[in-house]
Amino acid sequence: MARKHLRDRSDAPRRDTVWLYGRHAVTAALANPSRAVYELHATPEALDQVPGTLTARPGLTVTLADRARIGTMVPSGAVHQDLALRAAPLPQTTLDDVLARPGPKTIVVLDQVTDPHNVGAILRSAAAFGAAAVVVTARNAAPPGPTVAKAASGALDLVPLVQVVNLARALEAMKTEGIWCLGLDAEGGRPLTTDLPGPSIALVLGAEGDGLRRLTRERCDAIVSLPTVGPLASLNVSNAAAIALYIVSRR
């Protein structure tokens, strides 16, 4: 089927939407049947890199545009790779939804991590190592917007990003379901190894610089550290998450 290249109808009704950009983020959104998509703007060369089965989605308008035009649709200086997609936000997944899924699971919990690039990188690692979800605080955390989507390289449409109002209560709910909550701290107790206390694990990581808050720490079953060596034992939160997920995935 030939692709349709239609002009952007400026009089079309504007829904509650976001602009996604970058090849991985855009193709993942187009491939996600749970995400409604409305307008794709691309250069001819960039459009050739997107499978025609994705651009043929019902309700999607595809418009050829130059790089400068696409640049006006995304944050200033963003690396959009000549693709911009107007799409609906993802449907909200609740913690109850995640806990109701059968079988062992690994969950990443972020205690007020505000840098969207870190959240995106953690989502990418969560997808790579099969995590069931990434849980963040509803306040004082990076929202699941375009910057997170770009940094996640498509993982935002693969791994649920769950927002909770009360993180301490969320940890208690996980523990009730048999999930062991392990808080990561460079000055923590025993190193994290594959010898884990149970089949389901929540890895709890604190904000950049501040680490875990007191109430969060108190709700964890144990505080662990990563088996690093050398004078720089503290890692960036996204790097720490990737290493911890790798260790847990080997259990």
The confidence score (pLDDT) of residue 6 equals 38
CATH classification of the domain holding 183: 3.40.1280.10
Lowest mean pLDDT among 158-172, 208-222, 226-240: 226-240
0.85 exceeded by pTM = yes
Better pLDDT: 209 or 7? 209
* pLDDT, tens digit, 9 for 90 and up, residues 5-31: 333 333 343 458 999 999 999 999 999
CA distance 94 to 42: 34
Domain boundary residue, one of 33, 59, 87: 87
Give kind and range of the element (H or E) at residue 180.
strand 180-184
Cβ atoms of 62 and 6 within 8 Å: the answer is yes
Residue recorded with tokens 């790579």: 128
Q: How many CB atoms lie within 10 A of CB 239?
A: 15
At 16 the pLDDT is 85
Contact 56, 119 (CB under 8 A): no
* Residue range of the domain that includes 130: 95-249
Structure tokens at 41: 């703007």
The answer on 206 and 232 residing in a single domain is yes
Say what the pLDDT of residue 143 is. Answer: 86
Q: Residue 39 forms beta bridges with which residues?
A: 61, 86
Of 126, 57, 106, the closest CA to residue 85 belongs to 57
Of 145, 77, 81, the closest CA to residue 117 belongs to 145
CB 68 within 8 Å of CB 136: no
Q: Is the pLDDT of residue 222 over 50?
A: yes
pLDDT of 1 above 60:
no
What value does the CA radius of gyration of the chain take, rounded to a whole number of Å? 20
Domain end point (choices 53, 68, 87): 87
Claim to verify: residue 116 and residue 160 sit in the same structural domain: yes
Res 41 pLDDT > 50: yes
Instruction: Please check whether residue 3 lies inside any domain of the structure.
Output: no
How far apart CA 51 and CA 32 sit, in angstroms, is 13
Judge contact between 107 and 175, C-beta under 8 A: no
